């Protein structure tokens, strides 16, 4: 699946209006024809947004730009609309002519569309839709999924549970980080002769790391997630 990581993706907030406003993060938007102007999106069947679009046949897509923050990604990508109201404490939106929200901050454009066809893909549905309106909001470049991983997604924090052990005499230094000028009090060797030994996991640590082979998103959970919160694809245990 390594070649899949080289496919270029954008990153978007897909919004719909049912009994309440809802939205989710997708990376599957593409233009399929220019005349007539038609687009497609593919999303997981279990998403509340999917269910709303099936009922209303309408949606908006906000194109996120390179100023996008991780907080915005978390708001729409790390929780289910079945459990929370994503717009309850979110104010950076306006309503398009179709009455559906579009995101006004960290967004360079939005597209409104009306579904004309759908294809059932088993776990996912592809909606083909005709563009009914679009608006340019800024000239800030669009964020790609590669940009998200390099500049928006928080970097992994170093493992700080463990000790530094002197390779010469076995002296143990507890603390993080090891000072660059540290000298072993036993054998007088410097920091370059110490190696980091992370703490061993205990039986109570039951969380596993799962990754999405499609977009590369990783998360820890006790049970396998139903789908990737970023792109809706199946996740695998790492």
Are residues 86 and 120 located together in one domain of the fold?
yes
The Cα 163–Cα 171 span in angstroms is 10
Please calculate the CA angle 146-101-22 and round it to the nearest 5 degrees.
75
Residue 112 belongs to a domain: yes
Q: Return the CATH number at 39.
A: 2.30.110.10
Query: 50: how many CB neighbours lie within 10 A of its CB?
Result: 25
Per-residue pLDDT 10s for the chain (238 aa) are 467 667 788 999 999 999 999 999 999 999 999 999 999 999 999 899 999 999 999 999 999 999 999 999 999 998 889 889 999 999 999 999 999 999 999 999 999 999 999 999 999 999 999 999 999 999 999 999 889 988 998 876 666 678 889 888 888 898 888 888 888 888 888 888 999 888 765 444 466 777 776 667 777 777 777 777 666 777 777 6
Full-prediction pTM beyond 0.85?
Answer: no
Q: Return the CATH number at 175.
A: 2.20.28.10
Residue 213 belongs to a domain: no
The Cα 173–Cα 200 span in angstroms is 16
Work out how many domains the chain is built from and give that number: 2
Are residues 13 and 103 located together in one domain of the fold?
yes
Residue 175 belongs to a domain: yes
């Amino acid at each position: 699946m390594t070649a899949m990581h080289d496919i270029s993706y954008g990153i978007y907030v897909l919004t719909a209006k049912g009994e309440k406003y809802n939205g989710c993060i997708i990376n599957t938007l593409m233009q399929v024809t220019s005349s007539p102007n038609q687009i497609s999106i593919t999303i997981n069947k279990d998403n509340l947004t999917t269910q709303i679009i099936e009922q209303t046949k309408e949606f908006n897509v906000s194109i996120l730009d390179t100023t996008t923050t991780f907080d915005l990604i978390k708001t729409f990508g790390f929780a289910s609309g079945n459990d929370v109201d994503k717009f309850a404490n979110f104010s950076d939106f306006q309503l398009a002519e179709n009455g559906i929200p579009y995101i006004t901050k960290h967004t360079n454009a939005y597209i409104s569309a009306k579904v004309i066809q759908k294809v059932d893909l088993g776990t996912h549905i592809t909606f083909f839709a005709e563009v009914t309106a679009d608006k340019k909001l800024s000239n800030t470049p669009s964020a790609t999924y590669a940009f998200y991983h390099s500049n928006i997604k928080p970097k992994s924090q170093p493992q700080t549970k463990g000790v530094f052990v002197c390779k010469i005499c076995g002296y143990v230094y507890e603390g993080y980080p090891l000072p660059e000028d540290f000298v072993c009090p036993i054998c007088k060797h410097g920091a370059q002769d110490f190696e980091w030994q992370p703490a061993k996991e205990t039986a109570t640590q039951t969380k596993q790391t799962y990754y999405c082979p499609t977009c590369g998103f990783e998360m820890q959970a006790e049970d396998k997630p139903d789908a990737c919160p970023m792109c809706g694809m199946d996740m695998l245990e790492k």
